[in-house]
Amino acid sequence: MLTPRQIRIGWRLLALLAGALYPLALAPFDLPLFGIVSAAALCALLKDTSPRETFLRCLAYALGLFGVGASWVYVSIHVYGQAPPPLAALLTALFVITLALSMALPFTLYGTLLRKNNPLVVLFAFPSFWVLAEWLRGWLFTGFPWLYLGNSHVDTWLAGWAPIGGVLALSWMAAFSAAALAQAGNLRHRPSGFAAGILLTCLLWLWGSTLAEKQWTEPSKSTLSVALLQPALPLEQKWDQNALSNILDIYAEDTEKLWANDLVVWPESAIPELRHRVDHYLNWMDERASQQGSTLITGIPTQQGSTLFNSVIVLGEGSGIYHKRHLVPFGEYVPLEQLLRGTIRFFDLPMSAFSGGADQQPLLRVGNHTIATAICYEIVYQDLVASTAADADILLTVSNDTWFGTSIGPHQHFQMARLRALENAKPLLRGTNDGITALIDSRGVVQAQLPQFERAVLSGEITPRTGSTPFNRFGSWPVVLWSWVMVLLLLWVGRRKSEV
């Protein structure tokens, strides 16, 4: 016969397994039902547990979630950061544990004051705690807004809510659906909770399908022909100074065939050299683009005084420069630099001494159109993108997902980019070094994309759009505040009941 301790361990292992299944909801697997079932399992496992047991079960769940969903971090650290396997495994484990704690700690309150409440209370408490945990993860320690439950619903009926409340609104509704499903365990004793949950879930999903038909922005009268160059350069070659001349020749040769397009896009850090050191080359490309009536946008590191930026510049029939605002720790700058620099090669990656750009920067211009830009990792920050998207006609993100290798990372990254187009109801251009390069319309639908790891060009047309969505104006705050109100209200009600 099992002891109570063995039973508790068994429940924690079940929570670990449930969390490990969660990433199947996201790209590249794209099985959103797994996310709801996984979250429903957690909701059921947290029923009537002590605060300590709530924390431990949620921690086990989160370890499974991030251990599988963020496994690509090991690839970045070991394969491309050249850290030895034991060290890469240790750093990845510390990363996963930190993320798991950021999810488990908020749910401790759930176990403290809400574990004795009825199913109707759980229906609103569980999704609110879930969203607050995601929101916390989005800014704590510079933020990791990855693996959100809402990301898995870019193609479901819930997607209609994205232009209103963004990805966190989708997360709340999906978690609500999970809480409703979890009430099936109470069907015999409290059928009203299950019935109410299913009824409200159906309402949210059906309403979302109706909202998906709404046109939040207006299309321009003319289209823009674009060409996105995917060079598929190996990372070891990209930062080899002896290969710079060859790299410049590759871009010039491939672009010469593309000047008939209104816009040509090169990926992040396409030119792996500071701007002022390749002025002659850039002036030549600027002249060629102007002669052909075309515009070229490229990623390139720039320098102002002693400050380095990860930038995007416009050449030819356009104007503007954008400096990346939200940098990747260790990849683009090293926290505690004086202590860590030189200890291992991972802390000395090429171009890892950047500074962040100003919060307010002019939009890029291509002819009469304006472009809001996000470089690589920035595209996962929904509010950062929304802050500039309202005044833009087109969204652009350039990236170098080579750091993820053949892992699931690039697919998750691409899925989040699609959601940014949907939230802001603007077309999005995604140019990368080796995939996933794509044209995405204002509904987040992929119009065309290139295979990964192939040197190729993606050509097509996009329709710029003007106007804004509610999410442009208010961002994630309405959903975050709603979640806080729900939590505080339910905590207050729970405390009043305990005092009676």
Residue 332 confidence (pLDDT): 79
Tens-digit pLDDT profile for residues 117-137: 577 788 999 999 999 999 999
Q: Does residue 342 carry a pLDDT above 90?
A: no
- Pinpoint the alpha helices (H) of 138-190: 162-182
- The single-letter DSSP state of residue 346 is G
Same domain? 241 vs 360 = yes
Out of 229-238, 269-278, 294-303, least confident range: 229-238
Cis upstream peptide for 313 (omega within 30°): no
Q: Does residue 116 carry a pLDDT above 80?
A: no
Helix or strand (DSSP H, E) at 211: helix 191-211
* Percent of the chain whose pLDDT exceeds 90: 77
Instruction: Give the CATH number for residue 420.
Output: 3.60.110.10
Q: Does residue 1 carry a pLDDT above 80?
A: no
User: Which band of pLDDT confidence, cut at 50, 70 and 90, is reported for residue 494?
Assistant: low
Q: Does residue 346 carry a pLDDT above 60?
A: no
User: Which band of pLDDT confidence, cut at 50, 70 and 90, is reported for residue 329?
Assistant: confident
User: Which band of pLDDT confidence, cut at 50, 70 and 90, is reported for residue 315?
Assistant: very high
Amino acid letter at 24? L
* Percent of the chain whose pLDDT exceeds 70: 93
- Bridge-based pairing state of the strands 465-466 and 218-219: antiparallel
Which tokens go with 141? 């320690």
Residue 23 confidence (pLDDT): 98
- The answer to whether residues 77 and 344 touch, using CB atoms and an 8 Å cutoff, is no
- Average the pLDDT over 190-207 and give the result: 88
Same domain? 422 vs 486 = no
Residue 293 confidence (pLDDT): 96
Q: What is the mean pLDDT of the chain?
A: 92
Q: Give the number of other CB atoms < 10 A from CB of residue 74.
A: 21
Residue 236 confidence (pLDDT): 76
End-to-end CA distance of the chain: 39
Same domain? 172 vs 261 = no
Residue 11 confidence (pLDDT): 95
- Bridge-based pairing state of the strands 394-399 and 369-375: parallel
Residue 498 confidence (pLDDT): 60
Same domain? 178 vs 278 = no
Residue 359 confidence (pLDDT): 93
User: Which band of pLDDT confidence, cut at 50, 70 and 90, is reported for residue 492?
Assistant: confident
Residue with structure tokens 């396997």? 85
- The single-letter DSSP state of residue 57 is H
- The answer to whether residues 229 and 454 touch, using CB atoms and an 8 Å cutoff, is no
- The single-letter DSSP state of residue 328 is P
Closest to 258 measured CA to CA, from 223, 230, 283, 233: 230
Residue 182 confidence (pLDDT): 93
Tens-digit pLDDT profile for residues 432-456: 999 899 999 999 999 999 999 999 9
Catalytic site positions: 268, 324, 376
Same domain? 111 vs 194 = yes
Same domain? 336 vs 482 = no
Q: How far is CA 497 from CA 108, 113, 117, 491, 494, in A?
A: 19, 10, 9, 10, 5
Q: Does residue 337 carry a pLDDT above 60?
A: no
Same domain? 456 vs 489 = no
Same domain? 292 vs 413 = yes
Q: How does DSSP assign 421-479, residue by residue?
A: HHHHT--EEEEESSS--EEE-TTS-EEEEPPTT--EEEEEEE--EE---HHHHHTTHHH
Q: Does residue 331 carry a pLDDT above 60?
A: yes
- Measured in degrees and rounded to the nearest 5, phi and psi for residue 137 equal -65, -25
Same domain? 178 vs 303 = no
Closest to 123 measured CA to CA, from 70, 51, 200, 187: 200
- Average the pLDDT over 40-62 and give the result: 94
Same domain? 411 vs 427 = yes
Q: How far is CA 70 from the centre of its chain?
A: 12
Q: Does residue 341 carry a pLDDT above 70?
A: no
Q: What angle do CA 80, 406, 273 make, to 5 degrees?
A: 45
Query: Rounded distance, CA 471 to CA 423, Å?
Result: 7
- The answer to whether residues 264 and 273 touch, using CB atoms and an 8 Å cutoff, is no
- Average the pLDDT over 453-461 and give the result: 97
Amino acid letter at 289? A
Question: For the chain, how many structural domains are there in total?
Answer: 2
Query: Rounded distance, CA 81 to CA 8, Å?
Result: 39
Same domain? 186 vs 226 = no
Q: By residue range, what is the domain housing residue 173?
A: 4-215+476-499
Same domain? 208 vs 222 = no
